[in-house]
Amino acid sequence: MRLGLVTGNRHKLEELSLVLRDYGVELYMLDTPKIEVQSNSLEVIALGAARKAYSRTRVPLIVDDSGLFIEALRGFPGPYSSYVYKTIGVEGILRLLRGVPDRRACFHAVIAAIVPPYEKVFHARSCGFITESPRGAGGFGFDPIFAPEEGDGRTFAEMSIEEKNRYSHRAKAARMLGVWLREAFKRRVGSSKHL
């Protein structure tokens, strides 16, 4: 099965492709803009973008929208993570947390899938803490300052893609998507239809 990923971020394509190939899904970057509605809800943003992309392309597709929710900052930057990264970056977040002992944070991911006749949304998260300084050269976005609690103290940016995918919010949501696609495919093949 082939699925389009609505993104301009090649890192997302690489991470999601590694997970989804285990479910027989070939992911490719769909050449269409990701048009996002303004919302405090990652689900509303992802599903809205998926519906708009599907109305233009009419091909099975997914949209991933993720956010970093920092407890001491009352969930900021949350659904505005991409904008905050582009404006104040990693160093800006570290400045906001200077002297703050509570470093707990969670990455939340939402993957919205439109695979006619189905429309489905998958939620996952990875919790951990914000480090005192950036560490690692891998990953993207806020990966250099986020260490998952399930890991060994390294940040996502200090891990290989395969290691990051063991713990990441995006990979967890992708595995849920993969299981669902496999089951949906079985149901449709059983009724002589194909995804």
Q: Which residues contact 36 (CB under 8 A, 6 or more apart)?
A: 45, 48, 49, 65
In terms of Cα–Cα distance, which of 47, 37, 110, 104 is closest to 75?
A: 104
CA angle 144, 103, 135 (to 5 degrees): 20
Distance, CA of 82 to CA of 88 (rounded, Å): 10
Distance, CA of 100 to CA of 122 (rounded, Å): 32
Amino acid at 69: F
Active site residue 64: no
CA angle 14, 20, 22 (to 5 degrees): 120
| Residue 141 token pair | 């976005």
In terms of Cα–Cα distance, which of 103, 22, 106, 26 is closest to 62?
A: 26
**Is-contact 153 128, C-beta < 8 A?**
no
Q: Which of 22, 65, 102, 152 is catalytic?
A: 65
**Is-contact 2 28, C-beta < 8 A?**
yes
Active-site residue set: 65
